[in-house]
């Protein structure tokens, strides 16, 4: 089964679950993720995890998701990213991009 879906722009949409580890809490990382996702037109959410990591669910065109993944590694000035782990998911009918409470 494919994890692709056609977006309203005709591009194939993909969904990724992402876990970012390092110094990514208390440095504005989640808010910066929300801003970048809005700029890129990515749908999904971001939240802090109790283990100190940040988790994201990203949905969008593959090229846009690749841009977001590259940005996650070094896009926030005071953060230190040690690793970015991804897993493909089945795209869902997500709308917008939001910051969720810590889980």
Active-site positions read 30, 48
Contacts of 77 (CB under 8 A, 6+ apart): 27
Look at the alpha carbons of 67, 81, 23, 17 in this order and tell me if their dihedral is positive or negative: positive
Integer Cα distance of 5 and 43 in angstroms:
13
């Amino acid at each position: 089964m494919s994890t692709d879906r056609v977006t309203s722009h005709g591009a194939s949409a993909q969904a990724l679950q992402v876990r970012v580890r390092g110094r990514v809490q208390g440095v504005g990382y989640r808010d910066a993720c929300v801003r970048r996702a809005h700029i890129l037109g990515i749908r999904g959410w971001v939240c802090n995890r109790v283990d100190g990591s940040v988790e994201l669910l990203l949905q969008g065109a593959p090229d846009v998701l690749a841009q977001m993944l590259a940005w996650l590694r070094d896009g926030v000035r005071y953060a230190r990213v040690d690793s970015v782990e991804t897993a493909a998911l089945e795209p869902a009918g997500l709308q917008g991009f939001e910051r969720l409470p810590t889980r």
